Chains A and B, each alone.
Chain A
Amino acid sequence: MKTCVIETEKICKSFVSDGEVNNVIKNLDMKLYQEDFTVIMGSSGSGKSTLLYLLSGMDKVTSGKVYLKEQEITGLKESAMADIRKDSIGFVFQNMNLIPDLTLLENVLSPSYQSKIKKEEKKKRAEMLIEKMELSAHKNKFPNQLSGGQKQRTAICRALMNQPEVLFADEPTGALNSNAGKGVLDTFTKLHEDGQSIVMVTHDLKAAVRGSRVIFLRDGRIDGELEQGSFRQKEEEARERMLYEFLKERNW
């Protein structure tokens, strides 16, 4: 029996532009499970990134409820939300969003500022993550001195620093070349194998096959789900075909 980490209850998100209301997410109910690698797909404008931001507490719902491990997080005060983002959530952006005036090591350490762990241990963990991502040689460099892949791996280290319940990723390979992208995806796969819950938004088939579950979004609603099971390299092509068929049925 899978444990639910995130659950939504009829969530809606609307934006008002020039007086016109645009409903991006419409009465959406969904459950995300522990140790799952959930991939959210959908065409442009389907609301996948918006959904990711609502699930991770980065943005507020217009109506409905979001639960993180059975705790409702909608309507929490700003400081309480900040605590949840710090303790329970890791986020990897498409454009990395590293802090430009912090070094790689400082960027990785940055979410741990209020953690009760000793300073030396924090540093040890950060260095362990950096080593795992093969970035040790660059730990004192600033973001502008890193390649795209290195930046994204740094962002993953940062997201993992506080051992989050869920790691969210918004098109993490979108700004990378294929080699760097593959490296990042391998990292995600490895993390999933180690039991990390991951929610990733992508429109890249090669990225999506890494997920254990694919949710397809259309016009702010779920338009289908595909259970793929854990990723194995040798099954990559077969998974790609299956996913392709799944998407084709949905006119993707």
Chain B
Amino acid sequence: MWFKKIRKKKIQSIFIVLILMVCSMLMTSSFVIITAGDTPYKELSGECRSPIVKIYPFQSNDPAIAEQIKENMEKLDMVEHVEVIPYHYMLERIQIDGKGSMEGYFFDLMPWNDKTYGSIRILEGSRELKEGQCLISAVLSNSEEIRLGDTLNMENGISYQVTGIYTDPYNMNLSFDSEIIVKENPRSEDLKYQVHVFAKEGSSGNEVIDAYREQNDGILEGRAITLEARIQNNQITERIIGGILLGISVVILLISGIMIRYMIKSTLASEKKTIAIYKMLGYKNGRIISIYLKFYGFLVVMGTVLGSCLSKMISDSFTKNTFRNMGVTSSSSIVSAGILCSGIIIAYAMICVYLLLRVVGNIRPMEVFRNEAAYSGKKQRNAGKVLGFSPIHMAMRMIFRDKKNTCMLVITCIMAAYCVNFAATAMGLLGTFEESNYYWLGFDKHDVSFSSTDLKTYEKTVEKLQKEEEVEKVIKTTTRVAVSVPWVKGMGDTILSVMVYDTYENLDMPVIQGRNPAHSDEIAMGSLMAEKMNKQVGDYVDIYLNGNQKVTLLLCGTYQSFYDMGKSCRLLGKTLEEKDVSFQYEEASVYLKEGIEPEEFLKDHEKEYESDGKLIDRAEKYANILDMITGPQMLAIRPFMIMAILLGALNIIAIVYLKNMDNRKTQSIYKAIGYSSGHLLKTNITYVFLIALFSLSITIPIFIVAFPKTMVLALSMMGFREYPVSYDITVVIISNLGTLAVYLLSVLFASKSLYDNPISELTSE
């Protein structure tokens, strides 16, 4: 009995299946994207037998410190083995034959070590290395299109031919140090040391670090990168995308609930008489409800399961790069995520269905047969107001006399319009991130950055830069100083990224409270860290310089930054000098005179400074870090916007179409008394136009107020307290007009039935 209803209610069935399919597709794929990496990463870690922790000592060029850490580590029960690896941190530029130079990455030239690299997964070539050969990570190979046989030419004249492409959990993301593995390190005069710790089975990196600190008065003289933290960082992109998609799917699910509700009400209204006949024949309410439950249950299950199956398309498109970099050809299964999401969606949809079907109990056969439609008392109170019959008046009447439908359309329009505004504005803003990267990363707004490749000539080079006629000023900076906060058990990493400037005066380097350091006893901290340490501007904070030199500084300001997920601080160079902390400036912020474009300056001087370091545009310098932040968002926002518009359109089509079906007889009456189909179409268009206009007039101000707050909330885990937004009026107007146009087109599409609605139906029952 229920199956016949599908044939009878084809359009409604299609709408329900379609909308739940989209919802299930997004929700399942979001779960798959979020969790897809878990098993492959676990398998990769197991296969590669990677170190559980890699420690970068603060005094990285002192082998004694590394050996001391190794010795202390080996005393821990959970540690199986420790390796000290000498490596070369590459400041030199790398040229690839015929493909130009690689910019914006951080490379460590690592000598082969059986323990660390003996089991890495080789995707192409061989792990056997000879002099002049190297292994590069798959992520580097894929990003820069470096193939087996290509040659990497270092600035110092040494070349390496790529003979193998590998992957391991520490080398999956180019935002972190990328390891190029060679047979032996040729730069013995300029070596740094890493400590690789291998733990016994069942111990995590954090447990090892905590145990180490417990044994050593809370002090670890180096930065510890645990395997689990690196895997987590590798998965950030997928997690952001997955999170956004999950958000969309929840919004869609909520809207679907509204739409399903409307459809069921429409069905019940049109089938009142059938239900009344069933009742007259002795069917109990439960039996009648079960007919409809089976009908809707079938559609809900079909849409949801279909969506789950199709979700593989979306999840694969977002995870393919990760899997490619891992050398995994088949992505993870959608079965468990599919079952979970289908369960959630089916339960939600069926609850909506059941709650509405309970109305069946209120249908009284005799009332139906007497054709007694129940109009509420509220309508009678409004009845005195006589409206005209122009499309606008008829639309107004529909709005005021059918408030439930109007509310549903308003909610649908508001949700869809909010999503569209959100997506359009976010996309516009992300597009400006490159220019305003200083703000988001917490650096100063310089024009060109200089990175030294020869520290011996640094001071002279800076002086030379200062004398260039296009240059207004040069500020010396470095980020290569070790700063940590006092360790508390369970804290994990205590390291803060640091920005050391020789002055902060007259720099555009925003703070959210207080100011940047002006005196040697001051520090500005990322608001996330300040909060974690329970400190406010004006308090004193204890920090360790180079791992073990405790100093107490005045917290003079807090700022927000994506840099190192908000775990950073700003210091003056003279603070380090006064505390006798050995450090060297290695970078410089170059400010150009007004009217000088960075590209022009770079064109004129890049070659001139090539032997001393790299001159690079600020936007380009931080491109990789920003890509990690904006890339996934950009990737997810476009489909998000399209989905939001489509969903809004789909809802409007469904609501208007069903409304037309419900009002088929009324429309025939209007036609019989001389109204044309065009007039009725205009009425529908006006109806949706007025609702959409009203919805937009509510949505836009709400959006303008809520958007920065939403973003601050979303970014609060990185310590963001402000989210400056300058709305591009053109973007706002275009996106909202576009939304409105899609709504009106949806009405046109849904109102086709007005033209083939014969008046002669009025004679038939």
Contacts and interface: CB of A to CB of B under 8 A. Distances in A.
B672 A91 contact: yes
Contact of B671 (A82, A109, A141): A82
B670 A97 contact: no
A93 B763 contact: yes
Q: Which of B380, B388, B674 has the most CB of A within 10 A?
A: B674
A252 interface: no
B372 A144 contact: yes
A100 B666 contact: yes
Contacts of A83: 674, 676
A251 to B, nearest CB: 25
Contact of A101 (B388, B397, B668, B759): B397
A59 B379 CA distance: 34
B401 interface: yes
B673 A86 contact: yes
Interface in B728-765: 755, 758-760, 762-763, 765
A119 interface: yes
Interface in A79-118: 79, 82-87, 89, 91, 93-95, 97-103, 105-106, 109-113
Contacts of B401: 101
A58 B390 contact: no
Interface string B655-666: 000000000011
A162 B672 CA distance: 13
Interface residues of B, number: 37
Contact of B672 (A94, A97, A113, A144): A97
Contacts of B665: 97
A144 B374 contact: yes
B516 to A, nearest CB: 67
B670 A99 contact: yes
Interface in A123-147: 123, 140-142, 144-145
B642 to A, nearest CB: 36
A111 B663 CA distance: 18
A106 B673 contact: no
Contact of A140 (B384, B389, B669): B384
A170 interface: yes
B372 A106 contact: no
A97 B374 CA distance: 16
Contacts of A98: 669
A79 B389 contact: no
A221 interface: no
B763 A170 contact: yes
A122 to B, nearest CB: 9
A162 B675 CA distance: 13
A78 interface: yes
B724 interface: no
Contacts of B666: 99-101
A53 interface: yes
A106 B389 CA distance: 9
A112 B389 CA distance: 8
A202 interface: no
A49 interface: yes
A223 B760 CA distance: 25
A239 interface: no
A87 B373 CA distance: 31
Contacts of B672: 58, 85, 91, 93, 97
A87 B674 contact: yes
A158 interface: yes
A113 B758 contact: no
A79 B676 contact: yes
Interface in A179-195: none
Interface in A34-63: 49, 53, 58-59
B388 A113 contact: yes
Given A49-B763, A78-B677, A140 B388 contact: no
Nearest to A56: B672
Interface in B220-278: none
Interface in B367-408: 372-375, 379-380, 383-384, 386-390, 397, 401-402
B669 A85 contact: no
Contacts of A145: 375, 380
Interface in B646-694: 665-666, 668-679
Nearest to B390: A113
A103 B397 CA distance: 11
A145 B375 CA distance: 9
Contacts of B679: 82
A109 B386 contact: yes
Q: Which of B386, B673, B763 has the most CB of A within 10 A?
A: B673
A90 to B, nearest CB: 8
A54 to B, nearest CB: 10
A85 B674 contact: yes
Nearest to A58: B759
B387 A101 contact: no
A82 B674 contact: yes
Contacts of A109: 386, 389
Contact of B383 (A111, A112, A142, A170): A142
Given A99-B666, A100-B373, A113-B390, A85 B380 contact: no
B273 to A, nearest CB: 14
A194 to B, nearest CB: 21
A144 B373 contact: yes
Contacts of A123: 386
Contacts of B397: 101-102
Nearest to A89: B674
Q: Which of A97, A109, A170 has the most CB of B within 10 A?
A: A97
A59 B760 contact: yes
B387 A106 contact: yes
A41 to B, nearest CB: 17
B678 A106 contact: no
A45 to B, nearest CB: 13
Contacts of B765: 95
B397 to A, nearest CB: 7
Given A53-B763, A85-B671, A159-B673, 15 more contacts: A53-B759, A58-B762, A59-B759, A78-B676, A82-B679, A86-B673, A87-B674, A93-B762, A95-B765, A97-B672, A101-B379, A102-B397, A103-B383, A113-B388, A144-B373
Shortest 4 CB-CB contacts between residues of A and residues of B: A86-B674, A113-B389, A82-B676, A85-B674
Interface of A: 49, 53, 58-59, 78-79, 82-87, 89, 91, 93-95, 97-103, 105-106, 109-113, 119, 123, 140-142, 144-145, 158-159, 162, 170
21 contacts: A49-B763, A58-B760, A78-B755, A79-B676, A82-B677, A82-B679, A84-B674, A85-B673, A86-B674, A93-B763, A97-B665, A97-B762, A99-B666, A100-B373, A101-B379, A102-B397, A106-B387, A110-B670, A111-B674, A140-B380, A142-B383
